[in-house]
Amino acid sequence: MPVPLPPLRPGDRGDAVGALHWTLQAINRVVDRAERDARVFGASTQAVLSKLQQDSVIPVTGEWDDATRDLVTHILSDIGPLTVYGRVTDADGSPVAGASVVATDVDLRTREELGRVTTDSGGDYEIRYAA
């Protein structure tokens, strides 16, 4: 998923907050599952951001601001530049939660698993990998 644009603050909810949760998970900063499932910027999201900001010696706001986005974008560039993301839905277009998604690189004679994840409550997934 693309790194969301700031600002995001406590009380915000929706797809941008869901993208923020995926982004934080990609750098091993995990938000409480209830907040992830509800796609809400709550106390857990604020605590994760505050800790990240404190650890990185940038202003501690507890919000998703420009300085934090710049920091996380830099961290992600070191992890792996490639991402596969999307949403799994059923035939009616409803999201499928808990589905397993596997990204695989298939060449003429080889096959390599790039990553494996489970969809969230909104059916969204993200797999990051290096070339």
- The tens-digit pLDDT sequence of the chain (131 residues) is 689 999 999 999 999 999 999 899 888 899 999 999 999 999 999 999 999 999 999 999 999 999 999 999 998 887 766 888 899 999 999 999 999 999 999 999 999 999 999 998 889 998 888 76
The whole-angstrom separation of Cα 61 and Cα 38 is 22
Predicted confidence at residue 80, as pLDDT, reads: 66
Predicted confidence at residue 92, as pLDDT, reads: 95
Cβ neighbour number for residue 4 with a 10 Å cutoff: 19
Residues near 19 by Cβ (< 8 Å), separated by ≥ 6?
1, 2, 3, 4
